[in-house]
Amino acid sequence: MDNTRFDDLLASGCQALGVSVGPDVGPRLQQLMAELLKWNAKVNLTAITAPEEVLEKHFLDSLAVLPEVTGAASLLDLGAGAGFPGLPLKIALPSLGVTLVDTVGKKVAFIKAAAASLRLQGVRGLHARAEGQPETEGIPLAELLIARAFMDLPDWLSLAPAYVAPGGRVVAMLGKAQTDTELAARAEERELRVVSARAYRLPFSGAERQVAVFARR
């Protein structure tokens, strides 16, 4: 994909999602894509390798939650995989401190290498398993905790509060949308409340998505 087509697709995708990014985001995402595909040729990081799909299903899907993330000082991405949504969100929000955690060492190695290549300050990759004991796991608490299809929502809401700083929020990036009643029931079971819930579709494939935000009651 040439630079012009990348920029055009990024712009149209962001417009469709109702988000905006600075002029430097496109070139940096192109660099991230180049790093991802270079690494993926040797190390299996992602099954999504077509540039158009990487742009939509990794980059735009990550940027879609900018309304829920903007304003936070620190973000913890659990089950970050190859760095999504944490890395694109960091590129779009340079002042955001981001910690990305995964159990797969090669994916954490990629996160560290990509952050160094893009000269992203305030990015930390951690090779750890989140089991609800952040102090012993060496995982810092954050103002905003996020995960994309990391585990089923009930399991996520049981695990997540242990990693949120006081007054912070839990963000769940979901596939098919759940009803307000379902989300409220899941939250109440774990002494949480629903702050917001928003359904959207990816701009090119039309794949269904939902982002739900929770806080302690």
Annotated binding site: 79, 84, 130-131, 148
Known binding-site residues for S-adenosyl-L-methionine equal 79, 84, 130-131, 148
Rounded (10°) angle between helices 105-117 and 25-40: 140
Measured between alpha carbons, how far is 75 from 118 in angstroms, rounded to an integer? 18
| Single-letter code of the amino acid located at 27 | P
Contact predicate 32/62, CB 8 Å: no
2 alpha carbon, distance to own chain's centre: 25
1's CB contacts (< 8 A; 6+ apart) are 9, 51, 52, 55
Measured between alpha carbons, how far is 35 from 29 in angstroms, rounded to an integer? 10
Helix, strand or coil, per DSSP, at residue 87:
helix
Contact predicate 170/159, CB 8 Å: no
Measured between alpha carbons, how far is 202 from 213 in angstroms, rounded to an integer? 19
101's CB contacts (< 8 A; 6+ apart) are 76, 77, 78, 79, 80, 125, 126, 128, 130, 139
